[in-house]
């Protein structure tokens, strides 16, 4: 059997079941469009899950970097920022020293980036893009 015959057979079975349950039947073209949309949704869903997993690994790496290379003042400021609803977005190494990092955090409710410096002080900059 070819693919189209299998689809039509599946369509006929589903529509017979829908009619038996009092659910109005739809045309074959509508059924195909619905199935295509569902397939696209799950294909996109899997892509988003893969992106989320990659982002999660990146953030874990940033947290490890903070644990190893951040100063005590940076760690304290970082913990306070997290408690106030900021979330980690980037850790930057400054210069040649691996112990000189800058921690960047953002909040979803504003367009600012919080930057925590080596001495634990912080500054803010406006994000151009979300």
Each domain of the chain, given as residue ranges in start order, spans 1-69, 71-130
pTM listed for this prediction: 0.61
Q: Give the right CATH number for 71-130 from 3.30.310, 2.60.40, 3.30.1300, 3.30.450.
A: 3.30.310
Query: What digits encode the pLDDT tens for the residues 9-38?
Result: 998 999 899 899 998 888 999 989 999 999
Query: What digits encode the pLDDT tens for the residues 35-70?
Result: 999 988 888 888 888 889 998 999 999 999 899 889
Judged against a pLDDT cut of 60, whether residue 76 lies above it is answered with yes
> Cβ neighbours of residue 77 under 8 Å, at least 6 residues apart?
103, 116, 120, 121, 122
């Amino acid at each position: 059997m070819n693919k189209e015959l299998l689809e039509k057979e599946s369509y006929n079975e589903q529509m017979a079941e829908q009619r038996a349950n009092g659910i109005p039947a739809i045309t074959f073209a509508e059924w195909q469009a619905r199935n295509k949309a569902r397939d696209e949704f799950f294909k996109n869903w899997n892509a988003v899950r893969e992106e989320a997993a990659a982002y999660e690994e990146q953030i874990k790496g940033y947290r490890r970097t903070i644990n190893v290379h951040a100063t005590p003042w940076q760690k304290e400021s970082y913990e306070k920022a997290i408690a106030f609803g900021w979330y980690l977005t980037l850790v930057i190494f400054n210069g040649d020293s691996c112990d000189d990092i800058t921690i960047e955090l953002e909040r979803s409710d504003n367009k600012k980036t919080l930057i925590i410096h080596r001495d634990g002080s912080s500054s803010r900059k406006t994000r151009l893009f979300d």
